[in-house]
Every structure is written in C-alpha cells, then in structure tokens.
Amino acid sequence: MAPNPDLIINIDPGEAGSETIRTVVLPWSGQSIPVRIPPGMTDGAILQLPGLGPATAPGGPPRDAYVQVRIVPGAAGPVPPAAPSGPGAPTSASPFGATPPTAPLGAVPPTSTPPTTSFGAVPPASAPPTAQYGAVPPTSGPPTAPFGPYPPAAPPPARGSGKGKILAIVGGAVAVVLLVVLAVPVVFWVSRDSGGAPSNQAGTAPAGADPSPSATPISPQEYQTLLTAVDKSVDDAFAKLREAKNPKAVGTAVDGIEAAVEEQIAALSKITPPPNVATAHADLLSGLEALVDSLAETGSAAGAGEVCVGSSALARLSRESSAEEVRAAQQALATADPAQPYQVGSLVPEKTSDSNRRLSNGKFLKRTKSGLGQLKIENGGSSDSVINLVRSGSKSPMVSVYVRAKGKFTVTGVRDGTYRIYMTGGKDWDGKAKAFSRDCSFQRFEDTFKFTTTSTQYTIWTITLTPTVGGNARTSDVDPSSFPGS
C-alpha cells in the first residue's frame, strides 16, 4: 500500500518528460532548498526522500518524507513560497498576483485567501478535500480564492494521522514543498490505473528509453538459436581481421568487429535466458562489453603502428582479460545444463603469444635480374627491413629484398631506368601478409635513383637506412595501404 504523502508538488504536463528543478521551502523548518524532480514522472507518483521528513519525536531523528507529484495543466514555473508559519511573519506578493495568508499558524484566514491549518488539524470545509490515498474524496469542493478555481485533477491524497505534514495551499491548488538538496529521490509509488487505484510499479520509462528485457525466460532451443546467431555475426567480422595486411585494414576490421559485438550485446540484453544459465548469460554480457573496450584499444594500436596485420591484432586480443572473461562464460554455458550444453562457437581467438619470425639477410622476395646496376644497402637500425626498388610509373617492385638489422647487402643485376626506393621496417615478418606484423613503419626516399649502363661503366648506388651525419637523402612516410607490394 502506498504511504500517505507528507507533501505534494504540481508540475505541468509539459514538464513531466524532462528533469525539473524547483526551489521550495521545508514547512517544518522554513529552510529553502532546490529540488530535482526526475524525468518521466506520472500523475500521482510518490517519491521517497530518506531522512528528510519531520522528526519522529521531539529531539529525535527525522524520518523519511514521502512526496506526491501531481501533473496539473498550467502548473509550470517555479514553486511559490510557502505560507508564513508564525505570527508576525512578513508578507510578500504571490507570483500569481494574490496575497498569501498572514494569519498566525492555526488561525482561520479570510476566505478570500487560501486556508491554512494548524499542524495536524483538520482543514476547514473550504480547503481542498482530503482522503486516504486511493479512497473517494469528500464531496466538498476546492476553496474559493482570487487565484481561480481549483484544477480539475484528481484530489490530493490523505493526510492520514496528520503527524509531520503541512500542506501549503497556493492558487487554489496543493503546491508542495520538496525538501532535498538536489538529491535524487526514490520512486516509491508511481501511478494510478484508469479506475483511480494505486499501481505499484517501478515507473514508466521516458520516451526513447531502451525496452526492458522480457520477464519470461525463453526456451533452451530459442536461447541456443540466439547464441548461434551471435557467434556467426562476430565470427564473420573476425574473418575480415584475419585477412588484414596493413594497419589501415586492421583498424577497419576492428571497427567492424566492435560494431558486431555491440549489436549482439543489444540482442542478448533484450531477453531473459533460461533460469539455469542466468549467471553464465550475465557473465557473457560482461565479457562482451569488456571486449568492446579491448577492440577500441587494438584499433588505436593499429593507428600507432603497434599492430600492423591481422595476425598480430588477433594475438593481442587473445591475451586481453576480456577474452578470458568470454572464454569462461562460454565454458559456463556449455556445462550449466547437462541436458542442454549450449555452444557459442569461438567468439574470441585462442590465446596466442607474439611471434618473432625473420627471413635471412639478403633474402629476395621478388627479383628481376636483367642489368648490371648495383644497389648497396646498409641497415644500421634496430629493426629488420624490406627494401623495394620500384620503376617510375609502376606500382609493383622490380626488386624486393630483406635486410636484417645491423646488416648489409648488395643487390646486383639492376636493369637500367629511373627508380624510387621504398622501405618498410618492423618486427615479426608475416609471410602470408608480406609485411611486418608489429612496430611497423613505411617510408620512401624523396629522390629518384637512375641506373645507366654503357660499354665501359654501370651505376652503383649506396643507401643507408638510418640517419647519417652528412647524408644527402630525405625520406617521407607512406600510407601503408598504398605501399608497393602490400
């Protein structure tokens, strides 16, 4: 049963859909405090304000206060101040154009102004009707006052015993002062049904809010069907990551996985699973949500050149704590019901350590030998490199050679022509992707290199892959997706 409200506040229907803040006065102390009314409130909703009510006994601790929110057309705007609570209290003009009562607390005010009553006393016949919450109110009408007739909304709830309650009557309507310093009140009792009886519910979600999960568990067969759909959606996205051959492709694939996982989280959140897998279901959702964060971090790592191809991105993801959470949830789903071992597929890759694959120094990845020119390469850096010799106007290298860190190598048999030289360096050579999988860089020399052969001489170029004092060649970064041979 709903508690009897201590206070009432009226808001306009237009204010009910959004957060409303009113500055009100606490009747039992006279303190003025701003109050936050949450969005989505329904007419008759009861808010519980812990520890903000009147004292339970003289000098004792305060009890909880209960406040009813009424939705009344024309109630928009700030809450007017409460009526004076003692003899000699100063008067002020009402924001609605009428003079508030100035009679001492407990005295009957003139009928032309809203009546007030002593603490706990029965209001005069001209006061708004009161009754037990949900009961039929007395037939006596609202008080007459210069503010206009009482709004046609449902009557205010019961005063109960009257202990600790003061109703401040403003403009012929019950305007309630709500005493909490911008605290979020607890929605205790929300609305009435069409017949006027209280409806004990958690409140109506504001327009646009996500729907709540179905309260009825789906069948084991339906749940397995959903898990299969989740696995297919996520696995298809992971397949694109496995094929990624440069950091840009890794970033795009990771974004696709992230979108697929978020979509499946939404689907899993809308249902209630069979009871015996409720815990495993919650763990799976938690693991997938953490996986979204891990995917975002992997995408950032690809942008920084830390992971460069699909194999290294998968290895990184496989070692994340989120992947462990998903694996544990998969195992729990498979064993929670002996009669129905739920299968979720892989979802995340098996845990994999970083590899450090290298080719031998001077290993040719591609070679066209039909000339006499030579290219001497000195790699003084700490990373292995691949050097591509690309003829002007072409996108495919004539020569591609692997030179290890601190290594040297001379390419012979270079055909006459003008070439550009591209370089990529990094760790762990992925032969399938034909690229370094981690800590990669992509550059080219700004100058072109011309090889010419005559009857008496041929061209020899020497390049150093690390900055050198007195060097005369500049380099620039290259988009990984347009790197020759990628």
Instruction: Tell me, yes or no, whether 118 and 15 share the same domain.
Output: yes
Can you spell out the DSSP letters for 59-110? Answer: TS-B--EEEEEEE-TT--SPPPPPPP-STTPPP---TTSSPPP-SPTTSPPP
Instruction: Tell me, yes or no, whether 375 and 400 share the same domain.
Output: yes
Cα 474 to Cα 210, 446, 467: the distances in Å are 56, 6, 9
Q: How would you classify residue 303: left for phi > 0, otherwise alpha for psi between -120 and 50, otherwise beta?
A: alpha
Instruction: Tell me, yes or no, whether 199 and 245 share the same domain.
Output: no
Predicted confidence at residue 23, as pLDDT, reads 63
Instruction: Tell me, yes or no, whether 62 and 198 share the same domain.
Output: yes
Instruction: Tell me, yes or no, whether 58 and 166 share the same domain.
Output: yes
- Can you give the CATH number for the domain in which 76 is found? 2.60.260.20
**Unique residue bearing structure tokens 């979720």:** 344
What is the Cα–Cα distance from 258 to 321, expressed in whole angstroms?
16
Instruction: Tell me, yes or no, whether 240 and 146 share the same domain.
Output: no
Q: How would you classify residue 213: left for phi > 0, otherwise alpha for psi between -120 and 50, otherwise beta?
A: beta
Residues 6+ apart with CB under 8 A from 366: 397, 398, 399, 400, 485
Q: Which of 148, 181, 207 is the last residue of a domain?
A: 207
Q: Is the dihedral of CA 180, 183, 188, 194 positive or negative?
A: positive
Q: Is residue 416 part of a domain?
A: yes
pTM of structure: 0.56
Domain count, the chain: 3
Instruction: Tell me, yes or no, whether 93 and 23 share the same domain.
Output: yes
Instruction: Tell me, yes or no, whether 14 and 87 share the same domain.
Output: yes
Residue type, 484: P
Q: Is residue 345 part of a domain?
A: no
Can you spell out the DSSP letters for 358-380? Answer: -PPTTEEEEE---S-EEEEEE--
| Residue 289 domain boundaries | 220-335
Partners of 256 in beta bridges = none
Q: What is the pLDDT tens value at each position of the chain, 486 positions in all?
A: 567 777 788 888 878 777 777 666 667 666 656 667 888 778 888 877 777 777 777 777 777 777 788 888 876 554 444 444 444 444 333 343 334 444 444 444 444 444 444 444 444 444 444 444 444 444 444 444 444 444 444 444 444 433 333 333 333 333 333 333 444 454 444 433 434 443 444 344 444 444 455 579 999 999 999 999 999 999 999 999 999 999 999 999 999 999 999 999 999 999 999 999 999 999 999 999 999 999 999 999 999 999 999 999 999 999 999 999 999 999 999 999 988 899 987 789 999 999 999 999 999 999 988 899 999 999 999 999 999 999 998 989 999 999 999 999 999 999 999 999 999 999 999 999 999 999 999 999 999 999 999 999 999 999 999 876 666 778 999 999 889 976
Predicted confidence at residue 26, as pLDDT, reads 65
Instruction: Tell me, yes or no, whether 165 and 224 share the same domain.
Output: no
Q: Is residue 464 part of a domain?
A: yes
Q: Is residue 353 part of a domain?
A: no
Residues 6+ apart with CB under 8 A from 85: 27, 30, 105, 166
Q: Is residue 392 part of a domain?
A: yes
Q: Is residue 198 part of a domain?
A: yes
Instruction: Tell me, yes or no, whether 196 and 291 share the same domain.
Output: no
What is the Cα–Cα distance from 63 to 27, expressed in whole angstroms?
15
Predicted confidence at residue 41, as pLDDT, reads 78
What is the Cα–Cα distance from 295 to 308, expressed in whole angstroms?
14
Instruction: Tell me, yes or no, whether 8 and 59 share the same domain.
Output: yes
**Unique residue bearing structure tokens 């697929």:** 260
- Can you give the CATH number for the domain in which 478 is found? 2.60.40
Give me 243's structure tokens. Answer: 């094929």
What is the Cα–Cα distance from 354 to 99, expressed in whole angstroms?
80
- Can you give the CATH number for the domain in which 272 is found? 1.20.120
What is the Cα–Cα distance from 407 to 379, expressed in whole angstroms?
5
What is the Cα–Cα distance from 139 to 182, expressed in whole angstroms?
37
What is the Cα–Cα distance from 329 to 342, expressed in whole angstroms?
11
Give me 192's structure tokens. Answer: 């009435």
Q: Is residue 344 part of a domain?
A: no
Instruction: Tell me, yes or no, whether 270 and 384 share the same domain.
Output: no
Can you spell out the DSSP letters for 280-337? Answer: HHHHHHHHHHHHHHHHHHHHHHHHTTSB-SHHHHHHHHHTSHHHHHHHHHHHHHHHS-
Q: Is residue 372 part of a domain?
A: yes
Partners of 192 in beta bridges = 198
Predicted confidence at residue 24, as pLDDT, reads 61
